[in-house]
Amino acid sequence: MTTASKRTEIGRGAEAIIYSTNKGILKIRPVKTYRIPEIDVSLRKHRTKLEATMIQKSRPMSPEILKTDFKKHEILMEEIKGPLVKEVLDSKPEIAEQIGKIIAELHDKNIIHGDLTTSNMIIDVSKKEKPVRMIDFGLSFVSSKVEDKAVDLHLFRQAIESKHARIFEKAWNHFLQGYKPANKKAVFERFKAVESRGRHKKK
């Protein structure tokens, strides 16, 4: 697909390699040699398709999909220009309100992100309104279940508690202003139950 364009590796996670190209961001799921080859091929194809579908469903909070090649396990997407939320949250905890709005919008569409960390959110510098955009839908799924939305919130809270401990309380309060738990009473009640479940487990 992009053999003609230059690619520069910008990231490598457990599942995928991310390249910057002159056409956009290329996410490729490479071979995992520890898997049985047939299973590996179908698993990577399945996950790549699933991620592309979920990114598409999450527009415009997610990047535009420019091209997919499931045989090559590749997704070419719009490059969102701007810093990761991870890089700016400590100095600007108020942007968590924007994150709250975006996650509420995703949950209203029954989209569960599944990996809500501040490395999977980018502040789009080209946008004045709703600048926070989500990436990395590799663990996402569709669900209307209160439990799934509550767990999504729980994971996000844990992520900021561990990576942004100093401003955690502030950021969480801003997040709640954006997410508006009063509009999502059932989810929020379940969230509190999930949180206390987590606390009991830790003991």
Ligand X SMILES: Nc1ncnc2c1ncn2[C@@H]1O[C@H](COP(=O)(O)OP(=O)(O)O)[C@@H](O)[C@H]1O
Catalytically active residues, by annotation: 115
Contacts of 29 (CB under 8 A, 6+ apart): 15, 16, 44, 47, 48, 73
Pattern 69-88, binding to ligand X, x per CB under 6 A?
A: --------xxxx---x----
Binding status of residue 193 toward ligand X by CB under 6 A: no
Q: In which region does residue 82 sit, left (phi positive, over 0), alpha (psi from -120 to 50) or beta (all else)?
A: left
Q: Does residue 26 bind ligand X (CB under 6 A)?
A: no
Segment near Mg ion (CB under 5 A); pick from 22-30, 32-40, 101-109, 133-141 = 133-141
- Least separation in angstroms between CB 75 and ligand X: 9
Separation CA 45–CA 52 (nearest Å): 11
Contact map string, positions 109 to 128, toward Mg ion, x by CB under 5 A: -----------x--------
136 binds Mg ion (CB under 5 A): yes
**Integer angstrom CA distances of residue 15 from 29, 47, 50, 80, 136:** 6, 10, 14, 21, 11
Q: Any idea which residue has 């003609």 for tokens?
A: 4
Within residues 137-156, the interface with ligand X by CB under 6 A covers 138
| Phi (first) and psi of residue 128, to 5 degrees | -85, -45
Contact positions vs ligand X (CB under 6 A): 10-11, 13, 15-16, 18, 25, 27, 63, 77-80, 84, 119-120, 122, 135-136, 138
